[in-house]
Every structure is written in C-alpha cells, then in structure tokens.
Amino acid sequence: MTLMQEIQQLLEGTYSKTGISLEDCLIGSDRCEELSQLAGSPELSPIARTFLRQEGDRLHIAIYYAEPLIELLEIHDPREGISNQNIAALIQFTEEIDHGVQAALEFQKKSTLESDGDLIMNLEVMGKVDTFIVLGKFICFHMGERTLNPEAKRWLTDQIFDKSYELFKSRVMEARYKLAQEVAAKFLNFLKSSPLPGRRRILRRFARMSWAQKVAFTEKVSPSEVPTTEFCTVE
C-alpha cells in the first residue's frame, strides 16, 4: 500500500468511503499549469495543489505534487519516521489528500459544492484539523505510544499551526487563511475537552457543517489557542 493510500484510508476510516482512488486523480506539471491558468489563482502553491470542478452530476478532482516533494518523501519515507527532514512535505502531502476526501464526501452528500470562497475555507479548516490528527497517529505509531508526549505534541503543533498565511501577497487572502487556521485550532481545543468516546461523532458533525456554520460553532468556543492535547485516538 502506498503512502497516499494509507492516508486516504485513515481519513475514510474516520469519515466515510469516497468510492474513488485519489491516486487516479494525480496529474503532472503540464496539466497543473493548464488548470492553474483556468483557475486564475496566481497565489496557489507551486508545490501541491488540488483542483475541483463540478460537471453536471460528476465531480472532477485533480491533485498535483511537485517532483521535489515526492522525491523528498521517497528518500525520507514518513512510514519509517517523521522528522524535521520530511514534516513540511508530509503536511502538504496530507492536506491535499484531505481536500480530495472532504470534497468528495461533500459532493457525495449534496451532489453539489459550496461557492468557491466558502469551499476553499471549509477545506482549509478540515485540512488543518485532519492533518493534525493523522500525523499524530503516525507519530504515535512510530514511537510505540498511544498518545503524544508533550514534546512531540508541541513540535507537531508548531509545524502545522505556523504563520505560512503571511506569505500571501494579498492581504485579503492572508486574513482568510489566518481565520481558517484559527477556526481549526478552536475546534481542536473543543474536541480535546470532549469525552473520548464521542470525539469521532463530533468530528464528523463538524466536517458536515458549512463554512458559516463552522465559524459560528467555534465562536462559542474559548479563544483560539494551539491544540494542546492528544489526538492519536479519535473515537
């Protein structure tokens, strides 16, 4: 099983089966350039991107990874250990898989997608939430522990909840992605305070919310903080 298949399987185990193989959705650099021009989004990441297009009752998903990212993950396979050498690439790799899974599940449920702006924000929030949980599981597995120790927890938090949103040239884009990260952090803090047996149900319910509903939900949670508890097991 490939790394991409393992991560998709972990995500679908938490939510639901998408019925698609995201490996079949991978595209090369030439197709990525074509889709980027059609999308008209100059600030898309040059390293990893997910493209979505609805055509009638079908959803088209395309995922692109730059060759250097794939080569790095092949040299420093996360299944053999996660470190400073591969964590940044692994985060980008996982977030794009999560975008594909969450978009497919939303389309499966509604036969449509939210408006572009709301969809992007929704996927960004879930990308942060799910990547934190999935990579927490990976780290726990490699350390032979059920929960993250405080040092590993702080390190993973710093890696995922960074200030990469400041790299946007557009102040509007910076503010939006900063807000998405804050919403994700608030939700993870809420999740950590919930009884373990009910966490998977809460996570699924949150994923099904629209962007506006996610914002309203987390506004009721305590002020934004970085997540500080174990998410290796989400029951």
Domain boundaries, the chain: 3-219
Indicate the average pLDDT of the chain.
87
Q: What is the pLDDT of residue 233?
A: 41
Q: What is the mean pLDDT of residues 153-163?
A: 90
Q: What is the pLDDT of residue 76?
A: 95
Q: What is the mean pLDDT of residues 135-149?
A: 85
Q: What is the mean pLDDT of residues 113-136?
A: 89
Q: What is the mean pLDDT of residues 81-100?
A: 96
Q: What is the mean pLDDT of residues 115-143?
A: 89
Whole-number Cα distances in Å, 80 to 3, 24, 83, 138, 150: 11, 25, 10, 10, 21
Pick the range with the lowest mean pLDDT from 12-26, 74-88, 103-117, 160-174: 103-117
Q: What is the pLDDT of residue 37?
A: 85
CA triplet 79, 83, 86: central angle to 5 degrees? Answer: 70
Residue 132 near residue 124, CB atoms below 8 Å? no
20 pLDDT higher than 90: yes
Residue 235's pLDDT band (cuts 50, 70, 90): very low
The model's pTM is 0.90
Q: What is the pLDDT of residue 204?
A: 95
Q: What is the pLDDT of residue 187?
A: 94
Please report where in the chains the tokens 């975008």 appear, as a residue.
99
